[in-house]
Amino acid sequence: MRTFFLASLLFFSSVSLAQQIITVGVVPQFPVKKLHSIWKPVLSQLEEETGLIFELKGSPDIPSFEKEFMAGEFDLAYMNPYHYIIASDIYTPMVRDIGRQLYGIIVVAKDSPIKTVADLDGETIALPAPNALGASLMTRAAMTNEYHIRYEPLYVKTHSSVYLNVALGKTAAGGGVQKTLSQQPEKIKNRLRVLYQTQKVAPHPLVANKSLSESTVKLIQQALLRMSQTKEGRALLSKVPFKMLGVADAQDYAPLRALNLAPFFQNHQ
C-alpha cells in the first residue's frame, strides 16, 4: 500500500510539473518575428528537456517590456543588466553569457565627417529606447558626463531601426551594441562605422521570477546548461546570443550599481 501511495504521489507530481506553464519575456531589441525565430527553438528544446510548457510573451517595445517585468508578469525574462538591477527584488539571475561583456557603441555613417563624440554637439542621435543599457543609458551618460555635449535623442524602438536611421542619413549618429550591429544585413553594416565604445559590463542575464519554486528554477537552469554542452544546443543558444553559457548571480552585476546611470533612466510606471 505504501509503495502504491508513493508511486501515485510521484505520478501526480509529474503531471502537475508537466502542466506548469512558464511565461517568458524577452527585451525587444529586434522585431517580434525575429525574436520568435530565435527563442521558439530554444524554448521547444527546453520543453523536451524539462516537461514544462514555455509561453513566449512578446512586448511591442522596450517601455512596454519594462512595465510588464516590473509588474512581475514574466516567470523568466531575458533583460539588460540595468533592468535586472531595478527589478532585483522580483527576479534573480539564472544564466548569462560568461564568455563576453556588454558595451555600448555610437555609430555614424561610414562617410560622415564626424571624427569624435564632441562633434555630435547639437545633433540628433537615434536610440532604441531610453533605458536600453549599452545602446542608450551608457551612451547618453558618456555624451553628457564625459563629453558634456547637448544632443537631441530620437527613440526609434529597436536597434535595427537605429542602424537604419543612421545608414539612411536621417540622424547624425545612433546608439547600439556590438552584437546587434554584427547581426545587421551587410548592406546596412557596410554603411556604418563605430565612433565610440563605452566601458564593458556583464551582459544580459536570463532571470527567474522569485515566485518560481527553487526546484523549477534549478530544473530550467540545468537544462540550459546541458543544452550548452551539445553542438545542436550551442547552435540554438548562440542566436540569443549566448556564446558561452554559464551560471549567473547577483554579484556579476554589482559593479553596475556604482555607475551613475540613475539620472538617465526613465521610469515608465
Taking a C-beta distance cutoff of 8 angstroms, is the pair 202, 189 a contact?
Answer: no
Q: Percentage of residues in the chain with pLDDT exceeding 70? A: 92
Residue 244 predicted with pLDDT over 70: yes
CB 29 within 8 A of CB 60: no
CA–CA separation, 78 and 42 (whole Å): 13
pLDDT of residue 5: 46
Distance CA 28, CA 153 (A): 19
At the topology level, CATH places domain 2-99+203-264 in D-Maltodextrin-Binding Protein; domain 2 (3.40.190)
What lies within 8 Å, CB to CB, of 242 at 6+ separation is 95, 96, 97, 228
The rounded distance, in Å, linking the Cα atoms of 94 and 220 is 9
* pLDDT, position 103: 94
pLDDT of residue 56: 97
pLDDT band at 260 (very low <50, low <70, confident <90, very high): confident
Q: Is 35 helix (H, G, I), strand (E, B) or coil?
A: helix
- Which neighbouring-strand residues pair with 57? 25
List Cβ neighbours of 101 (8 Å cut-off, separation of 6 or more).
Answer: 200, 201, 202, 203
Tell me what pLDDT residue 256 has: 85
Q: Is residue 9 pLDDT above 50, yes or no?
A: no
Distance, in Å, from the CA atom of 96 to the CA atom of 248, rounded to the nearest integer, reads 6
64: left (phi over 0), alpha (psi -120 to 50) or beta: alpha
Complete edge-to-edge strand list for the sheet that includes strand 124-127 = 152-155, 124-127, 173-177, 104-109, 192-197
Measured distance CA(109)–CA(177) in Å, rounded:
16
pLDDT of residue 40: 98
Same fold, 2-99+203-264 and 104-197: yes
The pLDDT value given to residue 258: 75
Rounded Cα distance, 195 and 106, in Å? 5
Of residues 14 and 64, more confidently modeled: 64
What would the pLDDT profile of 33-55 be if each residue is shown by its tens digit?
Answer: 999 999 999 999 999 999 999 99
The domain spans of the chain are 2-99+203-264, 104-197
CATH architecture observed for domain 104-197? 3-Layer(aba) Sandwich (3.40)
Provide the whole-model pTM: 0.74
pLDDT given for residue 210 in this prediction: 98
pLDDT score of 18 more than 90: no
Q: Please, which residues have CB within 8 angstroms of residue 154's CB and are 6 or more apart in sequence? A: 124, 125, 126, 127, 165, 171
Per-residue confidence (pLDDT) for residue 268, from 0 to 100: 61
pLDDT band at 269 (very low <50, low <70, confident <90, very high): low
